[in-house]
Amino acid sequence: MNSSTATSKNKKRQLLRSLVAALTMATTLPAGGGCSVWDRIGPGPHDTTTSYHRGVGLSIEYPEVAECATAVTIAAEAAEAPHALEDPSKLPTLDLSLEEAVAMAMQNSPVIRSLPIGAVFSTQSAATVFDPAQVASSQQGVEAALAAYDAQYTNSLAWFNTDQPVNTIINPILQQFQVANSEANSAAYQSQLQKRMANGSQFSLRHVVNYSNSNRPNQLFSSSFTGWVEAEWRQPILRGSGLQYNRIVGSSRTPGVYNGVLIGRINEDVALADFENSVTKLVADIEQAYWDLSTAYRLLEANVKGRESALRTYQYQKVRLDVGAGRQDEEAQAQSQYYQFEANVQSQLGGPNGLYANEQKLRYLLGMPASDGKIIKPTTDPLDSKVLFDWNSALSQALTRRVEIRRQRFQVKRREFELYASRLNKRPQFDFVGLYRYRGLGDHLIGDTDKGPLNGLYSSITDGDYQEWQAGVEFTLPVGLRQASVAIANAKLQLKRERAVLAEVELRVSHDLTEAARQIEVTYQLVETNYNRYQADLRQVEVLVRRYLDGTDNINFLLQAQRSVVQSEIAFYQSLSNYNLAVRDLHWEKGSLLAYNQVQLAEDAWEGGATRDAYEKGLFLTPRQDPSDISITPPVTRRSFNPSEIQASGMSGPSQTVSEEAAVGVDTSVTLPYEPDLGLPPVDVARLPKLYEAGDFGLTEEPSPSDGLIFTE
């Protein structure tokens, strides 16, 4: 040991002693002085200062986010003042058919909207068009599960320095003792390429290089490189083996936790089913809002006609009172009925269930501004022909096409996979391990073989003079297999639960379809009945008007008849709307609502690079025609399913012509005119007295307030 090295070591020892003494005083001062020592220390400059975060941590602030102008945000900002009691006949109209409304909603709904508008909007559970892709790109999708089979390449490089005393006798004969030290500078490098296969096998290719430069005696080289290249193969024999098992379990090694490819595919299919369910709900809400708006126009028209008839009756009674031929109570009754219809008109126009409210609901579903100065006018006529469904065909379609049943079947399939994997997990870990290695030693990392056999490490390895191999088995058995047994019991219970839920869903679907089919028949009969009632009330008004004008009948009967005709007209249009919604509900219950409204669900177009990659990969894939050539897992699905596909069914009824409705499960569409049951001829309104119908009584005033709403076509 030279003098410079000894001087350096002495300085290190003095520095270490000073540090130890300082730490000793710092740790023994509180023990010797007690807590009073700290109490005598005054407050520091920051102890009396109020913290900046005291009033900031829980303060409400507005986030700073990137502003993106989209069609939805533009529609939100473009809303004008809403309409309340404006005359809709004075507003510009936006003619819209049901097909156009559905198409517009499909194009403008990145977030799947739903009714009612006033409900609290949950941003966490809102369904969007991004949900299926989000699941596919998350850790629950197939791509994340396939990552378990990606080759893993790792590298590590580290440097070391050791300086430690050695208990060594320098000269045993002379009994000379001296503290010796072992000094070494070393480095370690390792790289590995590891690949896991679908059947559970694991292949590893490693390269290890160790460098050492030390003062140890009896060395061939003062510095040396040692290393090897090895290949390892580990094959599970019991637990962890099998193609289907690994595609279920994935990278998880915990019983009961599975994230394999098959589970990822089911997760994606469930996400698609949830998305389809949301789109179906949106289409159903669009039909609901569309027919509600169409009915609102009819109800407003009926109340306006009732108000006009009440106004004419009041004006006529006012004239009779002025000439001394009428009574004040009759004039007051006529005026009261006018105001009653006036209130009904205002309610049907701007009330919670009025024209403008229903129009706003439809606007929301279509992604339009709440108000833009125009008013939507439905142009699709409601279905007024009787629709006959074949029950057996509708029931079979409902049990096949309903998205709730298909979603639950995927859950049952998931539990079947999990039970299969859980049973295989109840086996010991028994692996075969094989390894082959090429070793080497060299004075240099890359040397010249002409200078000696151990001049270079890599030349020593490539010469192949030092080869090793290893073969054996590894066995691991958790005594009792308690965790695996619990996982099997839980998987069985989960499977029983999902199967019970599937049976309950099928039972619920059959009951819902039965109710929908009953409503088809009932609502159609109500349409006919209310139409006949409406016609009878019109004839009653015609007779009572003549008798009232002749002075042979009391005004009370006429006023009651005028109310009845408005009520029967309202009931007729409401029943007509309910009939169209009943047809919608039956399509909904049997899973053909998207096909009925011509809505297609499809994946968005791929990027050009992805399409090219898929094409190039397909060049290396060869289909196997012989099942014995390849081992595959049981299929998850039987065939592809398109919820928008037209489904043919049997027909029954007087007509055998296949219509568009028949292609989606409707047997036939037969037009049945509404014939009055009493056998009376239809009412000819022109036969009413000209004076009464025209309302020309020589009066210009109306019951106050004089700014009543009178709408005319």
Domain annotation covers residue 221: yes
Residue 290's domain comprises 80-133+268-378
pLDDT in tens, 5-36: 556 666 666 766 766 665 555 555 554 445 55
Domain annotation covers residue 246: yes
Structural tokens at position 645: 């596909």
Domain annotation covers residue 49: no
Residues 450, 546, single domain; the answer is no
pLDDT in tens, 479-529: 988 988 999 999 999 999 999 999 999 999 999 999 999 999 999 999 999
Residues 113, 212, single domain; the answer is no
pLDDT in tens, 405-435: 999 999 999 999 999 999 999 999 999 999 9
Average pLDDT, the chain: 81
Average pLDDT over residues 562-576: 95
Say whether pLDDT at 667 is over 50.
no
Say whether pLDDT at 703 is over 80.
no
pLDDT score for 674: 36
H helix intervals, 40-169: 71-77, 98-107, 131-136, 142-146
pLDDT score for 629: 59
Residues 399, 541, single domain; the answer is yes
Domain annotation covers residue 711: no
pLDDT score for 627: 58
Structural tokens at position 96: 């819209």
Highest mean pLDDT among 127-136, 597-606, 626-635: 127-136
Average pLDDT over residues 285-292: 95
pLDDT score for 66: 81
Structural tokens at position 688: 């009413």
pLDDT score for 654: 33
| Cα gap 706→332, rounded to integer Å | 16
| Cα gap 711→675, rounded to integer Å | 30
Residues 390, 367, single domain; the answer is no
Residues 335, 190, single domain; the answer is no
Average pLDDT over residues 35-62: 69
Domain annotation covers residue 319: yes
3-class DSSP assignment, residue 343: helix
pLDDT in tens, 295-318: 999 999 999 999 999 999 898 888
pLDDT score for 423: 93
For tokens 């004089």, what's the residue?
706
Residues 331, 440, single domain; the answer is no
In total, the chain counts a number of residues equal to: 713
Q: What percent of the chain has pLDDT over 90?
A: 44
Residues 253, 178, single domain; the answer is yes
Tell me if 590 sits within 8 A of 513, measured CB to CB: yes
Q: How many domains does the chain have?
A: 3
Average pLDDT over residues 247-251: 90
Q: How far apart are the first and last CA of the chain?
A: 116
Domain annotation covers residue 243: yes
pLDDT range class, residue 550, cuts 50, 70, 90: confident
Beta strands in 293-392 (DSSP E): 375-378, 386-389
Average pLDDT over residues 557-581: 94
| Cα gap 689→542, rounded to integer Å | 9
Q: What percent of the chain has pLDDT over 70?
A: 77
For tokens 């790289």, what's the residue?
191
| Cα gap 515→165, rounded to integer Å | 92
pLDDT in tens, 380-391: 999 988 888 899
Domain annotation covers residue 228: yes
Average pLDDT over residues 209-236: 86
Residues 318, 370, single domain; the answer is yes
- DSSP annotation of 82 reads P
| Cα gap 7→679, rounded to integer Å | 129
Which CATH number fits the domain that encloses residue 123? 1.20.1600.10
Residues 288, 163, single domain; the answer is no
Residues 573, 457, single domain; the answer is no
Residues 108, 162, single domain; the answer is no
pLDDT range class, residue 455, cuts 50, 70, 90: confident
Residues 6+ apart with CB under 8 A from 264: 140, 141, 142, 143, 144, 145, 146, 250
Residues 446, 512, single domain; the answer is no
3-class DSSP assignment, residue 182: strand
Is the pLDDT higher at 634 or at 582?
582
Say whether pLDDT at 324 is over 70.
yes
pLDDT range class, residue 336, cuts 50, 70, 90: very high
Average pLDDT over residues 613-634: 72
pLDDT in tens, 458-478: 888 888 889 999 999 999 998
Domain annotation covers residue 657: yes
| Cα gap 535→676, rounded to integer Å | 7
Residues 6+ apart with CB under 8 A from 260: 145, 148, 246, 247, 248, 249, 250, 252
Q: Of the given ranges (15-24, 120-129, 283-292), which has the lowest mean pLDDT? A: 15-24
pLDDT range class, residue 75, cuts 50, 70, 90: confident
